[in-house]
Amino acid sequence: MTDLSPFDGTTELDVERSKEMAAAISRALRRAARQARQPTSLIIGGGVPARRGDRAFRIGVVASFIAFVFAPTLLAGVYWGWIASPQYDSEAKFILRSSDSSALDSFGGLMGLPTSRQTHDSEIVVSYIESPALLRDLSKTIDLVKAYSNPSIDYLSRLSPSPPIEKFDKYFQRHIDVGYESGAGILTVNVRAFTPQDSEKIANEVVRLSENMVNDLADRPRRDALAQAKLELTRAEEGLRDTTLAMRDARNSEGVLDANATAEAIGNVVTTLRLKLVEMQSALATLESQAQDAPQARVYKARIDNLKQAIDGFNGQIAENNNSQSLADRLSTLSVVQTELDVARQRYAGAAAVYQAARLDMETQRTYIVAFLQPILAQKATYPHRWTQWLIVAVPSLLLWSFAVGLFMVARNNMAK
């Protein structure tokens, strides 16, 4: 048809073409509006027009995700899920008790508080367990290298067969934990090993060595006191022996065992003779009163003279009477040695008493470990915490990767403006 419009002179074909063009423009505008309303993608850079390098950027993002998130998470899952060797934990809880306590400590004990000695010893035990000294002492009774370097243990958890002491100590400290509750005075020790038998044996040995160490510290001053008491006792024995020998030599030289006893014996003899002399003199006086020239008077006089001579002789032995070897002279010599002997005996008795007290004190145990939770044979492996260890790898990897991609995306958008 070729009819013309009466107003503008256009044909019907032109009108149809205009309508089709308007519809196409409307569809294009609606499509552009929908694209404008959609959120911008962080991966491809967003925006209506595509930029050059979007494909390379997407490939880099995916590759970095695989390298820094997927691969470490997968490896961690494989290791912690199937490869990591199980570890068994043995726990011991104990408190320290001391036989030495002051009045203030006793009052604190009644109030349920740990004593100052108990607190001090507990802190020493904690330091001992965390030190290489424990490893040295444990190695004397337990083959720790064999326990932790067994070929059945996975490579990453295994100890090298001949480790240096510094590396060995760091490795062992990762498998032992010690805690101290100051309010209750409770010490907790956890030992991890790759067999339940090893963990139980090591935990029991740690408790025993801790008790020995505390008692050894307390015994050092007592050992010094015992050694000093023993030295003093030895000196006293030597002094007593020398003085005894000196007394023997003095008695041999003076010819008297005991001057005092000898003087007392001679005094008793003189007393008896004097009594006899008095009797004879009395009998002579009675006889002379009856008959002046009685034959028996001469006998009594002779006996009286003999008694006087005997008394004078004995008196000369006791005290100096023109006799250079009287008992008085001998007693003065022996008394000096006897005094030295008495002093040596007293010194020896005192030294022996001090030594016995120090020995008894040394044999008395001062500190005890009261274990109210003994290490037991573990029935189930409690380490490693597989899910926890896996999340420690997965979550930080994902967060760091997301943060890095976000920063790179922001920088890329800013550079494109």
What is the rounded CA–CA span in Å between residue 325 and residue 313? 12
pTM of the model: 0.58
**What's the mean pLDDT in 266-290?**
75
Cα angle 258, 260, 263 (rounded to 5 degrees) comes to: 105
Residues 73 and 134 occupy one common structural domain: no
Is residue 30 in some structural domain? yes
Residues 122 and 205 occupy one common structural domain: yes
Residues 406 and 343 occupy one common structural domain: no
Residues 252 and 346 occupy one common structural domain: yes
157-195 confidence digits (pLDDT tens): 899 888 898 999 999 999 999 988 887 788 999 999 999
What is the rounded CA–CA span in Å between residue 356 and residue 363? 11
203-237 confidence digits (pLDDT tens): 999 999 988 888 887 777 778 888 888 999 899 99
- For the record, the structure tokens of 322 come out as 């023109």
Is residue 285 in some structural domain? yes
11 DSSP assignment: B
Contacts of 397 (CB under 8 A, 6+ apart): 68, 69, 72, 73
Q: Which domain holds residue 107?
A: 86-221+378-391
Is residue 370 in some structural domain? no
- Of the ranges 108-112, 189-193, 221-225, 301-305, the best mean pLDDT one: 189-193
Is residue 371 in some structural domain? no
Residues 90 and 215 occupy one common structural domain: yes
Residues 58 and 101 occupy one common structural domain: no
Residues 201 and 136 occupy one common structural domain: yes
Residues 11 and 100 occupy one common structural domain: no
Contacts of 145 (CB under 8 A, 6+ apart): 139, 159, 161, 162, 163, 168
Please give the tally of structural domains in the chain. Answer: 4
Residues 127 and 30 occupy one common structural domain: no
Contact in structure between 198 and 87 (CB atoms under 8 Å): no
What pLDDT is recorded for position 108?
44
Res 109 pLDDT > 70: no
Is residue 369 in some structural domain? no
- For the record, the structure tokens of 342 come out as 């008495």
What is the rounded CA–CA span in Å between residue 258 and residue 379? 83
What pLDDT is recorded for position 29?
67
In the numeric block, the tokens 């002492």 are attached to 137
Residues 314 and 405 occupy one common structural domain: no
Q: 79-83, 259-263, 324-328 — which is least confidently predicted?
A: 324-328
Is residue 226 in some structural domain? no
Residues 115 and 213 occupy one common structural domain: yes
